[in-house]
Amino acid sequence: MTIAHLLEDFAPQTPVVAMPEINEAEIEEQKLASYETGYSAGWDDAVTAKDNEVTKISSELASSLEDLSFTFHEAQSQLLETLDPMFKVLTSAVLPDAMAASFGHHIVDQLTDMAKSQADQPINIVVSPGEGAAVRALLTRSFSVPVTVREDVGLSAGQAYLKVGGVERELNSAALIDAIKDSIEAFSHQMTEDSNYG
């Protein structure tokens, strides 16, 4: 007789159920399905991460461009505020004085240019009152033709009419300065409008 009845039995009390047999094809199908599920989940995570990164970069770029645009407009506005008084002084004081100082020389330059195409033709110069003596003093070059300098009360300072033979020219420093002022004012106005309204 055996002594098995004296020893405690540790075997499970539930009956052991036999596992159904799984063939190799089913195992491979399950592995493949698991792989596809994991691959799809990984792909979706990668696409979501990339979309989030693109959105973040786009947002940062838009913010940087907005800051840059603001900085550019701010700098442009400050530059205009700084240049505007300088332009006003330039066109109201410096430019008229420079034009007045060089007006006689400008007349002589124009006459020299006109005389090239009108050789041996009389030269007539009409200037505003008080400018005749200064123009005569600049005509140091001896011309082989008569040169007439006449003052006309109808002309304003910085204005002259030149005639060499059949060629005539008008010099008008005041009109030139006004045109420069208008151009500067138009430029300043346009830049201010652009700065204010983007």
Residues of the chain with pLDDT under 70: 1, 12, 15-20, 69-70, 72-73, 140-144, 195-198
Largest CA distance in the chain: 163
pTM over 0.75: no
pLDDT of residue 178: 85
CA–CA dist 111, 25 (Å, integer): 108
CA–CA dist 30, 180 (Å, integer): 86
pLDDT of residue 39: 87
Helix (H) or strand (E) holding 119: none
Alpha helices in the chain (DSSP H): 24-89, 95-117, 132-138, 173-197
Burial call 42-69: b when 16+ CB within 10 Å, e when fewer: eeeeeeeeeeeeeeeeeeeeeeeeeeee
CA–CA dist 56, 49 (Å, integer): 10
CA–CA dist 167, 119 (Å, integer): 11
